[in-house]
Structure 1
Amino acid sequence: MVSIPTSEGVAERRETESGALARGLTVLSRLHEAARPLSLQEIADSVGLPTTTCHRLLQSLDQAGYVYREGALYCPTPRAACPLPLEHPLNRLRRDTAPLMRELQERHGPSVLLIAFLGNHRVTVDSVAGSYSVAPYFDTNVSAPLHASVSGKILLSDRTPEQRDLLLGPEPFAARTELTIRDRSVLYAELEQVHQRGWATNENENVMGISAVGTRLAAPSGRALGAIVLTGPSRFFCNGNEAMRDDLRQASELLNTTSHAVRAMSQFLGI
């Protein structure tokens, strides 16, 4: 007799499969973060799973071509470590922007970041470290608050007031420093200026002693697809940021008008 799966059984199976997928992605993420081969026990300890469960997940990832074994250690394959093709719009944008970023860093001193907007998410596509003693660390996923960062303000300036409300939540906004803008009306007034002029600043608003200025990268439609940002110790900005703004604007305008990667990014993002 053929058994017909119930809706409850199908839902349970889907929940189990989605849970396994999430755990597998977590395992893969740990391998990326470690930046070295890991043993089964190290992976299990880092993700908080039993070794038997972790072993099954690693076997599935191995069969799918995302990890390989080096003796008793596990490593991500090229498919996992470098998933984007060389001609992907993000890689093309990185290559087009690299010479401009190096020139900006050498001329002004702070670190330079190329940030792309994937929906409401921000990703660091490339960086050039600044000329100062403390080595900066920039994560791929940009987690700085939207209301207290240059990339966040540029992203918000490209959204409607209703969309901003959903992204920011209720006021007063969280204070990162005593200079963080916490009032909605004050922030929205600044965002309108950012939208009109194409650049934004962060003067000790996220971390005391760290400032930034950046300009918008725009699709042919005018929508923001990312930003180029100069950021570093506030001493670099003590005489104002007008020269930085001018050079950043020139770099952004050059990319916006001549880079095929910018057009490819706009198609990739659907904007």
Structure 2
Amino acid sequence: MSTSPAPLVPPLFQGLFDDAAVFPPGNLPVADAVPAHRAHRAAWYADAVGPLLCGAGRLDELAAAARRPGPSAAQDPAPAPASVPVLRVGLVLPGGSAELGPALSAAAPFEVAGVELATRDAREAVAALDLLLPADVPAAVEVPRELLRGDGLDEVLDVLLDSPYRAKFRTGGVVAGAFPDERELAAFLTGCARRGLPYKCTAGLHNAVRHTDPVTGFEHHGFLNVLLAAQETDPAAAAEVLAERSGEVLAKAARTLSDRQVTVIRNSFTAFGTCSIAEPLDDLAALGLLSPDPTPQEDR
């Protein structure tokens, strides 16, 4: 009996990396981000890459860049394709539900793969999404971290549990205070896990393993730590996984996950935004969790 070859990207990492190249700290110009994203989507690791994320205020730039048929010479000297595929875009709306209607209209040239809506009122955000969002477009609701402390976390997660939308949690930024410690992040992860509520994360997760940035001194969570902690329902156990700094320990734990555990993890932690696609891939390769495809595309 023949068996199907193993996927180039293991299920644990498929669709995990939303392309946030235009956001800080990467800040790639939109005109460069579009051909770079298309190159990612054509590469052997394409199954790991989610949509290109774009803020509401830059959709005109994105539309202009998307109309250009070929990659820039700086990105790829190969000839332009005969047709330009529709760009899969995730809309990031930091201005809340007031941006939703205009952004959906401005995104008409694209395939809208999701909406990420920031709000201070989860109920209001859910109502706006219910009213305006097409039924086949997923959404995530981000509430400021200061409103998720104490009983606020349970209140927000309960609101989202009664909706078709994911939660979104900010795991970093450009200042030290934007990074939650392991206890705060564990409270969010386990609160979602106990409810069966999916979520995505954003910012600060470029690397697989928890570490202190040698330049900024900021304490970064590792996305592999978060993946492994996503199956925990006990906050102390989740915090312990989040605090682990050994790549060898984390990689071993990832290799021993059962198919069921992988399904549970990815049904919970659906994706995260990263301004670099290369960094997380390089980290996984260094840990032995991802093997680059040696076969040229034209030879397959």
TM-score (structure 1 length as normaliser): 0.26
Q: Which has the larger radius of gyration?
A: 1
TM-score (structure 2 length as normaliser): 0.25
The structure that is helix-richer by fraction is 1
